[in-house]
Chains A and B, each alone.
Chain A
Amino acid sequence: MPDHDHALPKKERLILDLLVSADHPLFGLELVRVSNGSLKRGTVYATLARMQAKGLVTSQQEELPDGAIGLPRRMFRPTPLGKRVLRAWVVLARELALGVR
Chain B
Amino acid sequence: MRFERKRVTGQPGTFFLRAARLVFSEATLDSVLSPAVADFRTEWHEAEGRRLLRFAVRCRWYWSLAILTIVAPRIGAATGDRPLLAAVPNRTGGWFLLLLAMSFYAATWRLFGGFAFASAAIGSMLALALRRWHTRHPPLAAGQGVPLTERTPEINLSSIHVGGDIAGLMFAVGSAAIVIVGLPGLSWFFAAGAVTSVAVAWGRFACLGRGGPIVQNSISPR
Contact = CB atoms under 8 A, between A and B. Distances in A.
Contact of B1 (A34, A53, A73): A34
Q: Which of B6, B38, B67, B71 has the most CB of A within 10 A?
A: B38
A28 B78 contact: no
Contacts of A9: none
Query: What are the nearest 7 A-B pairs in CB distance?
Result: A42-B67, A70-B8, A42-B64, A71-B38, A74-B35, A41-B64, A29-B39
Interface residues of B, number: 36
B38 A70 contact: yes
Interface of B: 1-3, 5-9, 11, 31-39, 41-43, 60-61, 63-68, 71-72, 74-75, 78-80
A71 B71 CA distance: 22
Interface string A54-77: 000001001011011111111000
19 contacts: A27-B35, A28-B36, A28-B39, A29-B3, A41-B61, A42-B63, A42-B66, A43-B71, A45-B31, A45-B32, A45-B36, A46-B32, A68-B7, A69-B8, A70-B8, A73-B5, A74-B31, A74-B34, A74-B35
Interface of A: 24, 27-30, 33-34, 40-43, 45-46, 48-50, 52-53, 59, 62, 64-65, 67-74
Contacts of B35: 27-28, 45, 71, 73-74
